[in-house]
Chain A
Amino acid sequence: MAETASPSAPIETWITGIGLATSLGEGLDAHWEALSHQRINADEKSFAPYVVHPLAPVNFDAQIPKKGDQRQMEAWQRIGTYAAGLALDSAGVKGNTDILARMDMIVAAGGGERDLVVDSGILNAEAKGNSAPGYLNERLMSDLRPTLFLAQLSNLLAGNIAIVHGVTGSSRTFMGEEASGVDAVRIALARIAAGQSDIALVGAAHNGERRDLLLLYEFGGFNLKEKYAPVWAREHNSGFALGSGGAFLVIESRAHAEARGAKPFARLTNVVADHARRKRPSDITSTLESLWSRLGSHADGTAIITGATGAEPVTSEERAFLRAHPDIPVRAIGTLFGHTMEAQFPLGLAVAALSLSRGALFAPADTSGQEIDMTTPPDRIVVIGAGHWRGEGMALVEAIG
């Protein structure tokens, strides 16, 4: 669409498609079922002592029909391309080339897994004295698969979605751990709300079953070890359990949705973000408080879905914020899905929109008393995403009708 001057009031934006493939399964019914029964898929053994939430079995052929395409992708790209396809299906725009050709795409991404065998082989050889100049070159030249680069490259999740599903209006990849997921949705919404775009595919994917990622977070002491526990019950054993999963949303202006007869899951009213310096205790708490006020007033019928990681000190600071807002039912998706990093905020939004569309907040899976029951249908859900190291974000999702 031709962009014109920003409208005086933000254009109403709906979530009309949700695509989920996670440790709890694939698709909306499977997720609702798992959430309703507090099902959790945590694996304490495969990556021991680290706890991870592995991807549930997925039939990739259903969304990525060409085996050749699947072979060109790393696991995170396959998960994301799959979830993106589900979101397009859910919105009813799959294969609609007219819409896909002008659909925005913003993906939050990390990178793909390294070839661990190649890395270990080189380090072992070097340890055995193969340290001639050029030895590393020689090994990398012969051992690296040429296509591995593309399978690891951050912007190639978006690239693969363009290739497999034909989303080509734009293609932007944001990086930067949890915050990139917040900003991807924030910018996609801002573009629609300002009339710069009508419809966007936005989301992220994460493969948590990776030793090279565990290594990065182990440097900072962020991994949950030995025993799984709900996010709020990790005082004595803090950390996050990496989770695998993809979460994509189709968001569009209400007018665009209505014109094509699309049904909304929920309204995406606002997304705000900040970058606390985190130099003083309570920096995060006060940043969350100011984001909360920027979102607007919160009457009865509000619930919170948070991407709280279980890592410290950020989880305790978020808890301090939540204590200042007692009586609001809270659900930590980290308890259920693990920590899907870039995907955690889009996942929170997906779960929020799903809950609003089903007219219920799922029951707590928490043992600490932090999460209370909600017996009435939620009118609005605030999604919180505070990164394990940097970045704070919040979104307001509202029920329609």
Chain B
Amino acid sequence: MTAMRDKSGRPVVVVTGMGVVTSLGTGKTDNWARLCAGESGIRTITRFPTEGLRTTMAGTVDFVPVEPFSSTDLSERLADIAAEEAVAQAEIGRAGDFPGPLFLAVAPVELEWPQRQELGHDIGPGIDIDYDQMLRVSGGGRYKQYHRRFLFGSVADHLAETFGTKGSPISLSTACASGTTAIQLGVEAIRRGEADAALCVATDGSVNPEALIRFSLLSALSTQNDPPHAAVRPFSKNRDGFVMAEGAGALVLESYEAATARGAKILGIVAGCGELADSFHRTRSSPDGKPIIGCVRNALADAGVTTEQIDYINAHGTGTPENDKMEYLGISSVFGERARQIPVSSNKSMVGHTLSAAGAVEAVFSLLTLERQRIPPTINYDVPDPAIPFDVVPNTARDARVTMVMSNSFGFGGQNASLILTREPV
């Protein structure tokens, strides 16, 4: 019988359920088919007027109706869809009674423009609008629903009640590494023996005018609007930024022991997690790459494996000039010569950057890569960057023997987190 504990004597953490929704579609089947076909979910934005914007495309999820639209409502719907798929696959607990805690990666929440405009309208004609006037009309219970909706904890609150998770649900943000952090928190809780199962969900429905403009003003977004599907160009010489996208990923984690005891199907193992913060700059990585290098090494050490055992890297690969360069520096520093041979692909070339959700979405895709023994490509790879000599699995999916995947996430605010995922316990 395979050991229930890892080399460090900790409970082995397995995945027994997965769910995903992205701009490519709903569910693992659809997403996987389109990912391996090299399709892009990036399209011209129709949700709101794009006049005056430098970037007019995104990986929006328009097929999930939310009326009236708010990013928080969409985030909640996407989280629901992904979590439902994951919990159904795991066949764990009873409906509305998930036997473990919730860890939710979610974008920061605030009141949005439609609600602000509603208050402005409510103030009435001829009165100069300011926050004192908005405060004047906001009381009395008329807008009670906006308090519930725009609390930072509101999405987790909803999920905790819907799925019946146990204890205090944790909402977290580590920027673009959030999804990975949600998984890491679940892994740690199971390793501590606090829980036999955890529901880790990451969601983002952030494509609204102000969020897009904020990233645009930081010059982080691609402006290659036409055609939209060719906008995200990770590791290419002509890459010019990331493309905002929406989606959610969910994983049911369990201790190997608990999963085996109830006869659950094991989809994969979370063998290791690593993190390390960067203190160099608010949006840029330390030029020496040390925090990324340290993060990757921490993940390998946590799993108790060597670079030789990794046979695919699911890159952060945003397609910004800076990220891709630093990711190469980090990987090549740790992997040495192997950095040129090991396949490294970016799901974001197709689904865009799902921000808070990315770590979990990409963990699901990494586990599907292990299951199907097929590596999704990096599309739009027509002009290689000689400074980044990765095997990016250019443009076409590839069958390969994959036993161990590293999935990386790096974010604003010096956030670095990496996962090691396997088919079998290591």
The minimal Cβ–Cβ distance linking A200 to chain B, given in whole angstroms, is 13
Inter-subunit contact B277/A134 (CB<8 Å):
no
| Known contacts A159-B412, A176-B153, A217-B147; A140/B209 CB under 8 A | yes
Inter-subunit contact B279/A190 (CB<8 Å):
no
The minimal Cβ–Cβ distance linking A149 to chain B, given in whole angstroms, is 4
Inter-subunit contact A153/B130 (CB<8 Å):
no
The interface size bin for chain B is: 35 or more
Inter-subunit contact A137/B153 (CB<8 Å):
no
The minimal Cβ–Cβ distance linking B212 to chain A, given in whole angstroms, is 9
| Known contacts A72-B282, A124-B129, A150-B283; A277/B138 CB under 8 A | no
- A166–B278 Cα gap in the complex (Å)? 9
Most buried by A among B106, B111, B171, B189: B171
Interface membership of B9, Cβ < 8 A: yes
| Known contacts A5-B10, A134-B50; A155/B171 CB under 8 A | no
Chain B 1-42 near chain A by CB (<8 Å), digits 1 or 0: 000010011100000000000000000000000000000000
- A270–B194 Cα gap in the complex (Å)? 14
Partner of A219, one of B143, B170, B282: B143
Interface membership of A80, Cβ < 8 A: no
| Known contacts A153-B108, A155-B411; A110/B152 CB under 8 A | yes
| Known contacts A137-B49, A171-B174, A194-B192; A163/B129 CB under 8 A | no
Residues of B within 8 A of A390 (CB): 151, 153, 157
Residues of B within 8 A of A156 (CB): 282, 412-413
Residues of A within 8 A of B276 (CB): 168-170
Partner of A176, one of B151, B192, B193, B413: B151
Chain A 154-194 near chain B by CB (<8 Å), digits 1 or 0: 11101110110011111111111101101100110011001
Chain B 44-86 near chain A by CB (<8 Å), digits 1 or 0: 0000011111000000000000000000000000000000000
Q: In B287-330, which residues have CB < 8 Å from any A CB?
A: 291, 301-302
- A186–B131 Cα gap in the complex (Å)? 36
Interface membership of A98, Cβ < 8 A: no
Interface membership of A274, Cβ < 8 A: yes
Inter-subunit contact B50/A137 (CB<8 Å):
yes
- A149–B211 Cα gap in the complex (Å)? 9
Residues of B within 8 A of A111 (CB): 108-110, 152
Interface membership of B368, Cβ < 8 A: no
Partner of A190, one of B51, B117, B147, B194: B194
The chain A residue with its CB closest to the CB of B142 is A219
- A220–B141 Cα gap in the complex (Å)? 6
- A173–B214 Cα gap in the complex (Å)? 20
Residues of A within 8 A of B174 (CB): 155, 171-173
Binds B, one of A53-61, A113-121, A247-255: A113-121
The minimal Cβ–Cβ distance linking A75 to chain B, given in whole angstroms, is 16
Inter-subunit contact A179/B413 (CB<8 Å):
no
Interface membership of B268, Cβ < 8 A: no
Partner of A221, one of B109, B139, B145: B139
Residues of B within 8 A of A155 (CB): 173-175, 411-413, 415
Partner of A175, one of B51, B108, B119, B412: B108
| Known contacts A123-B120, A154-B108; A144/B217 CB under 8 A | yes
Residues of B within 8 A of A187 (CB): 170, 185
Chain A 264-308 near chain B by CB (<8 Å), digits 1 or 0: 000000000111010000000000000000000000000000000
Binds B, one of A81-89, A208-216, A318-326: A208-216
The minimal Cβ–Cβ distance linking B182 to chain A, given in whole angstroms, is 10
Inter-subunit contact B279/A393 (CB<8 Å):
no
Residues of A within 8 A of B129 (CB): 120, 123-124, 127
- A180–B301 Cα gap in the complex (Å)? 30
Residues of B within 8 A of A119 (CB): 116, 131
The minimal Cβ–Cβ distance linking A35 to chain B, given in whole angstroms, is 29
Q: List 6 A-B contacts (CB under 8 A).
A: A4-B8, A163-B280, A168-B291, A177-B152, A389-B147, A390-B153
